[in-house]
Amino acid sequence: MGEFTLEEQKVLSRFVTNTDRDIFALFNLPEVVKGALFSRYSRSSKSLRRVLLDEFLLNKEQGFAQITEHQQERGASGLVATQKAEEFYERVLVGYGDDSVAELAGAHVAMENISNIATKFIEDSRIGLSPLEKSTRYVYFDQKDMEGRYRFCREPGIMNSEFSESYEKTCNLLFDTYASLIPKVSKFFMERFPKTQELSDRAYSATIRAKTCDILRGLLPASTLTNMGAFGNGRGFEYLLTKMYASDLAEIRNIASALHSELRLVIPAFVKRTDDKYGKQHIAYISNTDSAVAGMVSELVKNEKNNFETAVGLADYDSDAELKVLAAMIHSNSQLSMKRAREIAKSLPKDKAQSLLSAYIGERQNRRHKPYRAFENTYYTFDICANFGAYRDIHRHRVLTQQRQLLNTSLGYDMPKELAEAGYENEFKNAMEAAENAYERIAKKMPGQAQYVVPLAYRLRWYMKMNLREAYHFCELRSVQQGHPDYRKIAQEMYMKIKEVHPSLASGMKFVDMNSYALERLDSEKRIDKKLEEIDKKYAKGPPPS
């Protein structure tokens, strides 16, 4: 028997394109409901359709029946309406030949039971797509499937190779270790941080869970199956599919095929070119180019060693950064050419230049008061080396350029100090060593597929190139108290690197939190309690008079 009863399938079929496959799309739902649904989905261990049923469709308190009542009265299927819209868009595309029309229609899709390798591949697409992935910081990943197996990707390439048995055994060991340590580590933190009287049961439980998840997520292999939702426009999905079809990983290509089928039901006009003559040429171009460059670089660096050097390095920056920023400020606030604006900026005495910068930064009251676009004229390139878990969190930033190397084990792993303090260092080390041994065997023949067995605790190297305006946003946001300690350190160090080379430009970056905390989520959960109380009071009064 499947996940849903016949009655549940009947209810769901009005809002999802299928009720029995891992890839599906939503329809007949208001945009605000889709957004709320995906937000709830990212912090739930349930499937999206189960969340939709339990917390929206069948939850009388949500008032969902009233929200969708007008759609029920129409009596027409949303998919039929999509077919009618297809005719209109075909005429627009043929008549005007403007690809940007593909950005006027979008789709919400859910991709379930896909690996962390796949989610990173999908999230590499920065433009036209907005993904949201199930968090490793709030949800335990110790569940098993209906056959009693841990939920990790049995990647076809590996499972059809000589490494299948070793791969399965190693992933099972990682999950066994992760699952067995959950109650032990939770108990350790509850004893270290007893619940105080003023703290609610909900807030305390959520804080302990988050801390436990933070400490143990390094054991999860990159093969761990997860769920993600994504909203994207037609152009964004078309290019994503093209890249996915060009991947050398069977899992990625299989997801592309399933995703393509579902998108044909809801935005068919905008994904049809993915597999036509030009689409196939584009796929071949990506595949051939990637293969050629990888082969040439491999030959160039074959005698080099990959060693851990530093967590954050400032690889490149503009030596004339202040001049560029000042010139942009003068240009946008005058009628002068950029050339003349640069000449004026260059002639400014140091005190006047600082005064102009201070005025431009303004009186920032919180991190959401961001500097203006003149700060986009100077760039910093950071070479980052950190564990894969931290990379997953940082990867979601899209207003910048970042590219990673293949996930591997050569750079070592990060041992959470609290795990050692709790006395479980050996269990963690044994699991890491087993994963490294399996990776090294597989990587000799299948370096791409070997990534699946690497746990999140292992380090990888990637670069991030961002302008100063994004650096303000990134360093202040990612250093907040409730952030994971691993990426908080990266944000703090990036801030210090910028301050070192450009103290005047970094002077307005007032909301970088340089402190360390024992229970990162505690204050945040207290704030949630307060908000919940306010909501209860607000709606206990009843609806406002009509």
Q: What is the pLDDT of residues 347-393, one digit of tens each?
A: 999 999 999 999 999 999 999 999 999 999 999 999 999 999 999 99
Domain that holds residue 322: 314-403+461-515
Q: With a cut of 60, say whether residue 187 has pLDDT above it.
A: yes
Q: Residue 415's closest CA among 142, 219, 220?
A: 219
Please indicate, yes or no, if residue 253 is contained in any of the structural domains. yes
For residue 535, what pLDDT is reported? 75
CATH of the domain at 379: 3.30.1360.170
- pLDDT, one tens digit per residue, over 231-266 is 998 889 999 999 999 999 999 999 999 999 999 888
- Asked if residue 324 and residue 279 are part of one domain, the reply reads no
Query: Are both 35 and 92 inside the same structural domain?
Result: yes
Please identify, among 296, 324, 354, the residue that sits at the C-terminal boundary of a domain. 296
Please report whether residue 144 resides in a domain: no
One domain, residues 507 and 481: yes
pLDDT at 78 over 60: no
Judge residue 410's burial from the number of C-beta atoms within 10 Å of its C-beta, 0-12 exposed, 13-18 middle, 19 or more buried: middle
Rounded distance between C-alpha atoms, residue 472 and residue 509, angstroms: 6
| CATH at residue 233 | 3.30.1360
Q: In this structure, is residue 441 part of a structural domain?
A: no
**71 and 126 fall within a common domain:** yes
88 pLDDT higher than 50: no
**In this structure, are 320 and 282 located in the same domain?**
no
Residue 103 reports pLDDT greater than 80: no
Question: What value does the mean pLDDT of the chain take?
Answer: 88
Average of pLDDT values for 410-425?
A: 94
Q: Is residue 81 part of a domain?
A: yes
Give dist(CA 245, CA 356) in Å, integer.
51
Per-residue pLDDT reduced to its tens digit, 455-494: 999 999 999 999 999 999 999 999 999 888 999 999 999 9
Q: Contact 17/266 with Cβ under 8 angstroms? A: yes
Q: Is the pLDDT of residue 419 over 60?
A: yes
Percent of the chain residues past pLDDT 90, beyond the cut: 67
CB 477 within 8 A of CB 484: no
Is 35 domain-assigned?
A: yes
Answer yes or no: do 240 and 386 share one domain: no
Query: Is 91 among the domain residues?
Result: yes
Residue 90 lies in a domain: yes
Mean of pLDDT values over 153-157: 94
- Where does a domain end: 235, 270, 296? 296
- Are 322 and 504 in contact by the 8 Å Cβ rule? The answer is yes
Residues 41 and 92 in one domain: yes
Query: What are the angstrom distances between the C-alpha of 521 and each of 138, 206, 528?
Result: 10, 8, 11
Least confident of 300-304, 314-318, 319-323: 300-304
Same domain? For 331 and 478 the reply is: yes
Which residues on neighbouring strands pair with residue 462, listed in sequence order? 384, 404
Report the C-alpha gap between 407 and 430 in whole angstroms: 20
Q: Please report whether residue 537 resides in a domain.
A: no
Chosen domain end from 254, 269, 296:
296
Q: How far, in whole angstroms, is CA 373 from its chain's centroid? A: 25
Q: Both 487 and 388 in a single domain?
A: yes
Check whether residue 237 and residue 385 sit in a common domain: no
Q: Which distant-in-sequence residues (6+ apart) come within 8 Å of 118 by Cβ?
A: 111, 153, 249, 251, 252, 255
Vertex 64: Cα angle to 114 and 54 (nearest 5): 45
Dihedral sign of CA atoms 413, 414, 419, 423 in order: positive
What whole-number distance in Å separates Cα of residue 159 and Cα of residue 169?
A: 12
Tally of domains in the chain: 2
My answer on whether 290 and 359 are in the same domain is no
Give residue 66's pLDDT band: very low, low, confident or very high (50, 70, 90).
low
- Please indicate whether residue 520 or residue 17 has the higher confidence score (pLDDT): 17
Amino acid code (one letter) for 90: E
Same domain (yes/no): 357, 466: yes
Q: Determine the pLDDT at residue 352.
A: 96
